[in-house]
Chain A
Amino acid sequence: MTAIAAATAASTLAACGGSDDGGGDGGGGGGGDASANEASDIGITEDSIKLGAHFPLTGVAAPGYSEIPTGADAYFDCLNEAGGVNGRTIDYIYRDDAYNPTTTSQVVNQLVLEDEVFAIVGGLGTPTHSAVLDFLNSEGVPDLFVSSGSLLWGADPETNPYTFGWQTDYESEGKIIGEYIAENFPDAKVGLFLQDDDFGEDGEAGIRQYIDDQIVAAERYTPGNTNVGPQIAALQAAGADFVVGFNVPSYTALSQLTALQLGYDPQWFYSNVGSDPTLVGNLLNNFSQGTVSDASLLDGALTTDYLPTVDEPDNPWVQEFQRIWDECGGDGELTNYRIYGMAQAYTTVQALQAAGQNPTRDDLIEAIEIAGGDWEGPVLAPFRYSEESHMGTAGMSISRITGDTTEQVEPVQLTDIGDAPIEDFDGEPAEVPENGIPNEESVMD
């Protein structure tokens, strides 16, 4: 570690020296070492790259989601200790928007105009990030890997050329769930429990492509209204024996408690967003005032995955992330949300490496469009990045929650929005590179 630090310091000195004797002729570099670094765009200096993000660190959405940036932060810390990207350290700034779009617009203004970040990475939330979509694209700030599965981020790269999605979109997720039910539960009477916004709508659109005739009821809840009794009772009355929920974690807990009160026991299937067992367990404990103490209610429920999870301690990626969290993380345990943040940070580093030695903001976008579709990493299925699509990963596996662990019941499936077919993913899980740091070639030289 000391040797690396010394080397970084030396190269930093060299870089500074280089810029002193006339910065104009330094452009011809292109070697792999840090001495060829220059401040190629806003937020990039010879020895650092500044990245920004907005997350709910306080307020109702903070439980769970506020852990994502701590995971990313730990990953970048370990990366910086190992030498950073092309000799530059990552300076990661994340700010609190309390899941309020008005605040999001203020903090992103601050990140872009005052902190002068090179790119925004992993901004969380559909309503919150919507507020800054136009601003980032009109200012030409790369808006990478939005933490939301809305179609807004990637389906229309002509309108939003600087924005990229990351996680599986809700429509593709709905399609994969729909096909799984059609094949494995052809006689089930399916009820849908949906959040009344794009999340529920996209999910429903996907799932109806496969099992429209099996669906006996579709009930919607309004976020903020904590009484889901009418919806669950309506699903029960419609005779649904298989309920698919496109809902956030707090509504997983609420639906479970309500069903318990009503004596309703269908097969549950929660989409990825609402199924984190640890968080749902805490929420159940909270809402039931201690009567239900863990996520045992979720036993036997099905869910989807696009990332390895903490309940797979044998997975090499989880082991590597555990090491990074132990070495560079803060207080608390490694959670699925922190893995999410680290995986996002991993993709970010891939993008920065692909963008070359001295990238501009536009180089970064072009590099993701050229190379992003081939990147491998902790995410189970490849991304769909190209000039035509800025959608994130396209695939998911399906697993069953049993006690504290999950068992996979269906391997990774690949699909896309619209009427794209669903296929088995035949690729191998990616191997963990040394130190958990990717090694992508520059595609911009």
Chain B
Amino acid sequence: MSDLQSPANTTAEGRTTGSKTAEEAPTEATAGADQPTASRRRSLLPQSTLLRHLLVLLLAAVGAVVLLEITDPFTNSQLATLTYYAIAAGGLTVLTGMNGQISLGHGALMAVGAYTTALFLSADEPLPLPLILLAAIVTATAVGALVGVAAARLHGPYLAGATLALAVGLPGLAIYFHDVLGGEQGMRVRAPRAPEAFESFISAVSGNSATNTKWLAYLGAICLLITYFLLANLIRSRIGRTWRAVRDQEVAAELAGINLGAWRVLAFVVSAAAAGLAGGVLALVVRLAAPSGFTLVLSLALLTAIVIGGLGSLLGALLGSALLVFLPPFVTDLGAGWGLDNTEAAQLAPFVYGVVLIVAMIFAPAGVVGTLRMRWLTRQAKRSAAQSSRG
């Protein structure tokens, strides 16, 4: 639970050092802090938040296409895996980083999305894919709203406990209703084949063969970009500011007329929607929705991803997810290269992951993105302080 406390503590620190140095000093150490002062400096980007985000979205889309076309098929499949982790982590970082609520139950919400997708796809004539993914989002949102209502009344460890129960209990439903949901071995998912437009798009862009793996990676990337675009806008809007107010100063927020409970539920619902979509993409990429895929380990992995990346930052969530996906195979191969046998090399991966987590806690307590941003803002503040004292 100290994770939750740390942003608040560092915030206080940031504020004191900030007021000492200058007016434009960082007031937030959390990666999620938006700095209108900072963005005003970037004259290259449009003033309007929406336009700016659209521009970033466009650049990211081009970047995604380039990345997917220059990498080999295996990296494509890893990137597809990355997309569903990143979508879920993005939703979780809004909840935890922006609104200060912790959830150990996002794995279960992903399960809801995955099973919804699997059920809709198992129909004789399945609906179009976007509709199915929408259904996954809606179902997970409904479950999230239910949990959110309970969560809004709880704090810190109690909230963690309640969502923990969700993570442990919900996959059990799949075993209880095994006639419909396939029990322990789950429901196999046949991902719809790529449309012809996709094949012609790929051959026009790079001339690579449009494999199913590639199609799923693109599908995940599209979902990821849309999710992050929407979340980024939300964070910069009145809603995002209200969430931060609820997170940082409950009393002040309540005095300002903010209904704490309602805003907490909303944060949970938004975050659940992202988890639902992530679950849907997971079902397509993994080709299976099974209870053993949604254990507590998944929920904890998402939480560590956003902590390592930087709470409240979408970029941090993306980086943290990348670490989840790319670190274990990298370490395993490294271990095998050192002459360890395959079993020992496999056992090395969780160990190194733990070490990375501890190192990140010690040297970058606000996460990678959070710490970098804090450094940058501090330097900016110092420079402007020096300027003002000179002038």
Contacts and interface: CB of A to CB of B under 8 A. Distances in A.
Interface of A: 57-58, 66, 69-70, 73, 93-96, 99-102, 105-107, 109-110, 113-114, 126-128, 130-135, 138, 150, 195-198, 222-224, 330
B290 interface: yes
Contacts of A196: 175, 178, 183-184
In this complex, the interface size class of chain B, counting residues with CB under 8 Å from chain A, is: 35 or more
Interface string B154-184: 0000000000000000001001101000011
A110 B349 CA distance: 16
B178 A113 contact: no
Contacts of A105: 285-288
Interface stretch (B14-22, B74-82, B224-232): B74-82
Interface string B337-356: 00001110011011000000
A101 B347 contact: no
A100 B349 CA distance: 15
Interface string B80-109: 010000000000000000000000000000
Given A101-B186, A133-B188, A138-B212, 17 more contacts: A58-B349, A73-B342, A101-B288, A101-B293, A102-B286, A107-B329, A109-B74, A109-B77, A113-B74, A126-B185, A130-B288, A131-B286, A135-B287, A197-B178, A197-B184, A197-B185, A198-B185
A270 B286 CA distance: 33
Interface in B286-312: 286-288, 290, 292-293, 295, 297-298
Interface of B is mostly: helix
A106 B346 CA distance: 14
20 contacts: A57-B342, A58-B346, A58-B350, A70-B343, A94-B342, A99-B292, A101-B293, A106-B325, A106-B329, A114-B74, A126-B184, A127-B292, A130-B188, A131-B287, A131-B290, A133-B188, A134-B287, A135-B287, A196-B183, A197-B183
A96 B184 CA distance: 20
Contacts of B78: 106, 109
A415 B73 CA distance: 43
A127 B282 contact: no
Interface string B211-224: 01100000000000
Nearest to A66: B343
A57 B81 CA distance: 21
B332 interface: yes
Contacts of B178: 196-197
A127 B184 contact: yes
Contact of B213 (A73, A94, A102, A113): A113
A402 to B, nearest CB: 33
A266 B288 CA distance: 40
Given A58-B346, A114-B72, A196-B178, A106 B81 contact: yes
Contact of B293 (A94, A102, A109, A198): A102
A407 B73 CA distance: 52
A222 B172 contact: yes
Across chains A and B, which 8 residue pairs bring their CB atoms closest together, nearest first? A96-B346, A113-B74, A114-B74, A197-B184, A131-B288, A57-B346, A109-B77, A127-B185
Contact of A134 (B73, B183, B188, B292): B188
B172 A101 contact: no
Nearest to B282: A102
Contacts of A70: 341, 343
A99 B213 CA distance: 22
Interface string B184-205: 1110101000000000000000
Given A99-B292, A127-B290, A113 B341 contact: no
Contacts of B282: 102
A198 B72 CA distance: 37
Contacts of B188: 130-131, 133-134
Contacts of A330: 341
